[in-house]
A and B are shown apart, each in its own frame.
Chain A
Amino acid sequence: MSATSTPPRTPEKGSATTTRTYADSARPLPLRLLLTRDAAVLGLLVAVVSYSVVAIPNFDSQLTIYFLVLDIAPILLIALPMTLVIVTGEIDLSVASIVAVTSVLFGVLTREGAPIALAAVLAVLAGALAGAVNGLLVTKLGLPSLAVTIGTLALYRGVAVGLLGTTAITDWPDTWTDAVTATFGESQIPVIVVPLAVAAALFGLLLHLTSFGRGLFAIGLSSESARFSGVDVERTKLVAFVLTGLVSGIAGVYFTLRYGSSRGDNATGLELQVIAAVLLGGVSIFGGRGAIPGVLGGVLLIGVIGSALRLDGQSANVIQIVTGVLLIASVVSAALLGWVSRRVRRRPPTAAEAAPPAVPTAGGM
């Protein structure tokens, strides 16, 4: 009666008889490192830098590097926590407005006689508060972060402009402004590379080497499975938003001192550059994928392209167009790569399905 039934196997109890062994990875290490978006971005960065050094006069001068670092500092700072937010599958569009509102608050507090250090701390805390508002609206009310942060983008910018109107506070002591733009000795290497490197290392550790970071990725890939596995989804997302607000506050203080100006329209459009850098750095807009080294590559790429175009005499509009194109290209290329790899993975069954002819013969496999 039975055609080809096989008796169910009955493995020995305790499973100690044959112990399976597993490799850490199905692919060798060099291949694993090379076949990532991070590697692609860093490769692209090297190519763009090499081209610029050869083709654009003065690109390799110390002064270029100096301005490059000072210009990308706020993008880099905010890109770090933004990576955490995007890895969870959310987004924060209000960061540039938080930079503006903290910059204005910093200015107003100082003008009203607060010590600069205290004003800076309060501004940073205000940034964290702004991030907490975003995070609470997203987690407690379950609203989509895209809508929430478009709202707060307008709201925080409005508060910033409302506080100062069209005026600016430009009366900053030289000791503070010089500290931000200081360089190491006679070189043109700005001192701020040190705090930037520390921040990048801290966020790298947080994302890649802590249980909190594992939770971020799990949420981005499947927030339900994460919840069922003991990841506090709401708290994790809230922390990511608060960190983004806090770091945006730090960027606001930096921005004020770097340009010696506290204004309501500071950092307009910065969120675009931050998000472009993060996505260019290989972080998936759908969450669950990304790495800090790639993001650093993305930030540098945005910075280098901007600075090369400026040295080449291109206008700000051109730079903005290039940034926009890069943003779209990075999302499209990720989608394209995903599609290609799915096709490749699906190839064998597809071939097998196509194999039997319309009138199959017995045992067509």
Chain B
Amino acid sequence: MPSPAAPALRLSDVSKSFGSVVALRSGSLSLDAGSIHALVGENGAGKSTLVKIIAGLYRRDGGTVEFQGQTVDFRSTAEAKAAGIAVIYQEPTLFPDLSVTENIFMGRQPTSRWGRIDRRAMRAEAAALFARLGVDVDPDRPADGLSIADQQIIEIAKALSLDARVLVMDEPTAALSGNEVERLMTVARTLRDNGCAVLFISHRFDEVFALCDTITVMRDGSYVSTDAITDVTVEEIVRRLVGREVTELYPKQDAEIGEVLLEVEGLTQPGLFTDVDLTVRAGEIVGLAGLVGAGRSEVAQAIFGVDEYAAGEVRMAGQRVPRRDPVRAMDLGLALVPEDRRRHGLVLDAPIARNITLATRGRLSRGGLLTSRRENATAKDWAARLEVKAAAMDTLAGTLSGGNQQKVVLAKWLSTAPKVLIIDEPTRGIDVGTKAEVHRLLSSLAGEGMGILMISSELPEVLGVADRVVVLCEGRKTAELSRAEATPESVMTAATAAAGPTTHGQEKVS
């Protein structure tokens, strides 16, 4: 029997490395039953690794994990689940063709005599779960077409039906609209009142401060501090999680803003984005902000020509950029560093050199022939400039760390000498040190007269780096803010401006 004083879950000095990359140096965390605990930290601070260790997805290299007073070492997610730990991810994965009820009871359907699945009992129990959570979801509808918010509710209901004692929510609100966030917070409070220990991971401090009882800060893979929420301020937390004053973090040199390079007019693709206008001038960094799912990446990919758009026009220095023709867009001086490095940015199984020279392979050819010698020479030059950490040019790109992979992608695009660089989530999943290098690089590129369109979900990054911020909400431009006008409040207001039940037709807000 666990002693009543023991925390529901306690991690001490937990570490985890992948090869030479240390993902988690020293993670510590203590969750109490009947309490909501916030875990905050920048991307790459080790939060996700910590969660995956709790979930049984990774096994720790060192440290201790105690669950209700007992030392545990989960070897699989099934073991963690059986012990009473449930994890709700940002984007749950349900079986789309099965009903909500079937999803909740997948693999452990209640059976009647003769082993037949007792559908009525199952349905009744699902309805009871939703009643307990105080939400209105039809247990019979298929999971396909449910909003992300509703899918999370299904996952929570599943956790509840498993009688989870510890519930981890990994950035659950990142893709939710205002009303949906409210509902999720109500559900979290219900769970707390039922004696659950809830771990809530979020980048949004307003939610953290409104919801949580305790807050733990992590930085660079290590534990920093734990406090009662009432004892700290947002400013104090921000200072701890970046480890320095925010203003130092994102240096933007003053650059002379020149002529208009990229012009986008009335860009529209039904269902994704509507009537988007933007311009990027020489020497300017334009931030493209908005919530996840606001259509930012889709706009970027349409501009570069890898995706389709139905209406609108894109011009580079006055010249029309044709639709769906990335090769022509490159010729006109556009470059796109995509959000998904592993799927779009890199050929993971190809050497570093081939990755760096992939976009310039035509230019590097002499008399129609392209030699490894030429490729390696060019690639070495760019790798050195961006300080890619690798021993040899034939190292496969997929074996590099996230930050170095990003540098390889950057090297590929900078070697094309673009006039306008579109960069989608420039620092996602890379460590803090490299992050500062990337920001410094963007700033110095702008200083040299390059126009930069930067998409970022990290508000401090947008506010720190961008000269001008364009905000999208549900595919529409809702604000264009100068550096002086752009504050966390003004950007977030615009990013949630149109948020409401309009586009999430499927959802039912209780």
Contact = CB atoms under 8 A, between A and B. Distances in A.
Given A210-B369, A356-B60, A360-B63, A21 B384 contact: yes
A27 B393 CA distance: 11
B444 A356 contact: no
Contacts of B336: 228
B252 interface: no
A338 B21 CA distance: 24
B361 interface: yes
Contact size range, B: 35 or more
B232 to A, nearest CB: 12
Nearest to B58: A353
A23 interface: yes
Contacts of B327: 230, 232
A209 B367 CA distance: 11
B222 A4 contact: yes
B242 to A, nearest CB: 9
29 contacts: A3-B223, A4-B26, A4-B222, A10-B436, A11-B437, A20-B388, A22-B384, A22-B393, A205-B369, A211-B364, A214-B370, A221-B349, A222-B348, A222-B349, A225-B347, A226-B358, A228-B345, A230-B358, A230-B359, A288-B350, A349-B18, A360-B63, A362-B64, A363-B13, A363-B15, A363-B63, A364-B61, A364-B62, A365-B17
Of all A-B residue pairs in the complex, the 4 with the closest CB atoms, nearest first, are A364-B62, A26-B392, A211-B361, A23-B392
Interface in B325-364: 326-327, 330, 336, 338, 343-350, 353-354, 357-359, 361-362, 364
Contact of A23 (B73, B330, B391): B391
Contact of B220 (A6, A211, A349, A359): A6
Contacts of A288: 349-350
Nearest to B440: A13
A30 interface: no
Given A19-B384, A26-B391, A214-B370, 10 more contacts: A1-B225, A209-B371, A210-B368, A211-B362, A215-B361, A222-B347, A224-B344, A356-B73, A360-B73, A362-B13
A152 to B, nearest CB: 28
Nearest to B431: A8
A228 B344 CA distance: 6
A175 interface: no
Nearest to B363: A211
Contact of B365 (A211, A226, A352): A211
Contacts of B19: 348-349
Given A356-B60, A360-B64, A24 B394 contact: yes
B344 A225 contact: yes
A365 B63 CA distance: 9
Nearest to A211: B361
A317 interface: no
A215 B372 CA distance: 14
Given A209-B371, A225-B345, A363-B13, A24 B62 contact: no
A23 B393 contact: yes
Nearest to B65: A360
Contact of B243 (A8, A24, A213, A215): A8
B179 interface: no
A226 B347 CA distance: 7
Interface string A322-364: 0000000000000000000000000011001101101110111
A310 interface: no
A359 B392 contact: no
A3 to B, nearest CB: 5
Nearest to B390: A22
Nearest to A11: B437
Nearest to B377: A24
Nearest to B253: A13
Interface in B455-506: none
A61 interface: no
Contact of B219 (A5, A26, A356): A5
Interface in B384-399: 384-395
A73 interface: no
A44 B429 CA distance: 46
Given A2-B222, A363-B13, A24 B376 contact: yes
Contacts of B433: 8-11
Contacts of A218: 347, 350, 354, 358
A205 B367 CA distance: 12
B432 interface: yes
Contacts of A22: 380, 383-384, 390-393
A20 B385 CA distance: 8
A278 to B, nearest CB: 20
